[in-house]
Amino acid sequence: MTGMNSLNKNIPTIIIVLGATGDLMKKKIVPALFNLYEDKKLPKLFHIIGFSRRKFSPSDFREYLKSILDKKSDISSFLMMFSYQSGQLEKAGDYNNLSAVLGRIDGEWKACSNKLFYLAVSPAMYEPILENLSSSGLTTPCSPEEGWTRILVEKPFGKNLKTSEDLDKLLSSLFKEEQIYRIDHYLGKDMLQNILQFRFSNNLFEDSWNNKCIEKVEIRLLEKIGVEQRGNFYDGLGALRDVGQNHLLQMLALITMERPESFTAKVIREERANILEMLNRYHLREIKKYSFRGQYDGFKSIKGVSPNSTTETYFKIRAYLKGQRWNGVPFILESGKRMGLSKKEIVIIFKHPTPCLCPPNIHYKNRIVFRLEPEEKIVMTLFAKKSGLENKIEERTVQFLYKSTNSSVQYVEAYEKLLFDAILGDQTLFASTKEIAAMWKFTDPIVAAWNKNVVPLVRYSPDRTEISEKARYIEQDDNLGVTLNKNVGIIGLGKMGSGIALQLVEKGWNVFGYNRTESVTKNLEQSGLKGRYSIESLIKSLPTPRIVWLMLPAGSVIDDMLNLLIPLLSKKDLIIDGGNSFYKDSIKRNSLLKSRHIRFMDIGVSGGPSGAKNGACLMVGGEKKDFQELEPLIKAVAAPAAYGFFGKVGAGHFAKMIHNGIEYGMMEGIAEGAAVLKQSRYNFDLSEVFRVYNNRSVIESRLVKWTQESFVDDQNLKQISSVIQSSGEAEWTIKVAKDEGVSIPVIKQSLLVRQQSKNIADDSPDGFRNKVVSAQRGKFGQHKVEKQ
């Protein structure tokens, strides 16, 4: 993230590559160092020591490097930066010879050089190498002022959380965290670095970068290549631990992390770790539903692979994040080998606008694609009017080609960046201990379940994409192990019931509706509701087990409706009471229905008519298994992340009761403040005051917004009644609080104010205060609050 300045370039530096004759040195490290050398990005005093068991002389080693680079131009000056020390990596005595070489170079330079130890070996060799480095004293800096030492280790960082923690313990015995550079080479890719700049350096998307606007995120790494010569290594690891636990989850972190305070390594790594710690950790039932694994035919015949191998070469996992911002958004993680194509990308799929001004059964959805292969580019899909006389919409794309991908130097550029930053001391693109622990905590339960064959291994033909299609069900928005029929009956099509009905119709549900006033039902039929004009016909229209959602006033109306429904329903049918019933009444009704083998749930619904139509807040009580079965329906009605299961029957209505009590107190507090403002000497423009209140202040809220809108309509609220209507929920709250021994003076006083409002003069200061509360009720609940 920072550039090499002149001071850095004058500091003598040595890289010691342990395992210098392996594939990593050959394919990535040497080409990357050569490119840095050509670009003049290396310090002036710079040396690379190869340390490996092969019996090379320094000149033999340079010839070996020359054959790797295969350059026609003269590269002798670059090769002279290399020397070689033969030795056994696991033999402590051979590190003494390495120490002598380092001492000689420092003597020639007349300085204590910085030393960077690169473990270009199998993770199985980490422990003996680290122990030998420690005992030899090679990792001890010359002094606090000069000659730092750093260590580079390649992923995988262990095989699970336990081995990862063991490795960290070993590393931390030698180095501080700021000296440890854990390489996940995907973080070195320009396109992934560009995600942060795209998100945080522009002001176009970040306000929409959340569950309110984003429907789904797909992250995939599909490869043409197979395991080839890596059989022994790969069979002990598998696709999930090879690329899922690291590459894919790091990509997820970059897409979802919060805005950093700065682009410094410490801040960015902390934000990545914070979001990774929010990954939902699955139990067996969820793993069975949300994960898929496969193995390509021919994998077992590869050298080093067990003939009985159950190692996956393909997987697809549906992941979720906790927290307000991303709750409910599925992240589809997919990777596979021998897929017949190379496709590496992150796809952000936005929700269609609500209401969607789209043709029937078609929803326009914007997308942003960060593509790594086959070309590095960003693609955005937008919708615009098609040229011509007709008002037709067509999809358009806006593309930014970052650069063409050159497969012959795959990942070399990433290693250039990582080596450059390691020399510089910038850890931004290196994984931290906290990130790695969070990633293992997510993947460990999945690997353990797969080892028990909880998710069967599916065979697939290499060089084809059918396996991806077979795993598509992982992406579907259904419930765990249960396919819910998308049929629901709604009884009560008033302001709230009609909104819920229309929202479900728009989302593809078959909604059968009944209302006592037939004209209401007929009007809704024009929007796709299947109207029914008797309770009997509604029940007969629903497939079993039936789901009947009541949106009726609290009290005897509910009991009367249950008496009508019970003879018509069958065992295991389910009734939802979505009204504002008293929680003890819900418990009694559940007992009655349970004796008839009919299920019951209580759901408190908040958000007013606009919430019912466009996404409400739902508080759910009932049996956990019923909630799990009905979650697709509940999720379809709720705003993003705006629902929760709170416990046994009655919990939903209890939570809604308390919600309404709090609402009374908040509304009264806002109204009292408005009344004092109006009476003050300053002649405030109340709409302007409340506009400011509702922009980043502590009291910013929907209630403040509705108050401000009321003052925009009429600064003095002349047409609003000062008599405040009230329902029973606040009284219930006060009664329950008394029973529980809790004092709630604010809620109690707010109810008293409403009850006494009919005795307050309309044109008095207290009358104005009461008008503010009435105006709020009119805004969020569409209650009639005008003077009669």
| Strands laid side by side in the 291-296 sheet | 393-404, 375-385, 367-373, 343-350, 214-222, 331-336, 314-319, 291-296, 457-460
Q: Which residues of 27-50 are buried (b: 16+ CB within 10 A; e: fewer)?
A: bbbbbbbbbbeeeebbbebbbbbb
Q: What is the CA radius of gyration of the chain?
A: 33
- Measure the CA–CA gap between 421 and 8, rounded to whole angstroms: 11
- Tokens 């009230």 found at: 726
Length of the chain: 788
DSSP H helical ranges for 602-744: 608-614, 624-637, 651-679, 686-693, 702-713, 729-739
Catalytic residue among 185, 247, 352, 653: 247
Report d(CA 281, CA 270) in Å as an integer: 20
Q: If 0-12 CB within 10 Å is exposed, 13-18 middle and 19+ buried, where does residue 737 land?
A: middle
Q: 3-state DSSP call for residue 715?
A: coil
Task: Please tell me the distance from the alpha carbon of residue 331 to that of residue 279, in angstroms, as a whole number.
Answer: 10
Q: What are phi and psi of 317, to 5 degrees?
A: -130, 140
DSSP 353: P
CA distances from 405 to 183, 184, 338, 465 (A): 21, 19, 19, 22
If one counts every other C-beta atom within 10 angstroms of the C-beta of residue 380, the result is 16
What is the CB-side half-sphere exposure of residue 197 using CA atoms within 13 A?
8
H or E element that contains 36: helix 30-38
Distance CA 582, CA 556 (A): 11
Q: Are 211 and 329 in contact (CB under 8 A)?
A: yes
Q: CA distances (Å), 501 to each of 233, 360, 508, 551, 698, in order?
A: 55, 17, 11, 10, 35
Query: For this structure, is 363 an active site residue?
Result: no
Q: Which amino acid is at 733?
A: T
Which residues have a Cβ under 8 Å from the Cβ of 158 and sit 6 or more positions away?
123, 164, 165, 166, 167, 436, 440
Alpha helices in 138-283 (DSSP H): 161-174, 190-200, 231-235, 239, 249-256, 265-276
Residue 351 phi, psi dihedral angles, 5° rounding: -70, 155
| Residue 329 and residue 342 in contact, taking contact as beta carbons nearer than 8 Å | no
Q: Show contacts of 594-598: CB within 8 Å, 24+ apart.
A: 596/566, 596/569, 597/571, 597/572, 598/566, 598/569, 598/571, 598/572, 598/573, 598/574
Active-site amino acid positions: 247
